[in-house]
Amino acid sequence: MSPITEKNGEMMRRGRIEVICGSMFSGKTEELIRRLKRAQFAHQSVEIFKPTIDTRYDETNVVSHEGNAIMSTPIESSASILLLGEDTDVVGIDEAQFFDDNLVNVCNELANRGVRVIVAGLDIDFKGIPFGPMPALCAVADEVTKVHAICVRCGALAYVSHRTIDEDKRVLLGEQTIYEPLCRTCYQKALEEKK
């Protein structure tokens, strides 16, 4: 079915919200990049955004742990997406958990305008608590893809990004030296070990 429909003689795009969520090291950004590159290959106009706080691999590009990258625009606030994402077919948003709660309204507005919105982010933080606007985005999404890392301790599907250092700050950018993907059982054991 075509992404464009006809209404009263006018051609209109059908918008939608797609959410890719899961723990760290689960391939969220890799999947986001894959979908965005496919849209570019189909000659659709694509705009990609990430929070300015995310400078782990690159100041501007969205980069996966595997090293795949796509050009993006770092922004402070979700409101900027409405301005910068105007007149585009597809909007990609990485690390959505770091944006303000208004991101849900922004994504809904874009989808209602006919834009395909693809959002990737952590659905829970290192304590297993729903993270930022991600739970609300999952609720309003047309499609939710939950991806999983592999638990580094037992090989089961990972549930959470366990923080391996003693730091309680909710937002702490880091990689494998600070976080490890754990299944629910191994996560509970890790919490017991810390007591």
Q: Known catalytic residues?
A: 95
> In angstroms, rounded to a whole number, what is the distance separating the alpha carbons of residues 39 and 89?
9
CA dist., res. 149 & res. 7, Å (int): 43
10 Å CB burial of residue 80 (0-12, 13-18, 19+) is: middle
Q: Give backbone dihedrals phi and psi of 126, rounded to 5 degrees, phi first.
A: -65, -15
Report the alpha-carbon distance of residue 152 to residue 158 in Å, rounded: 8
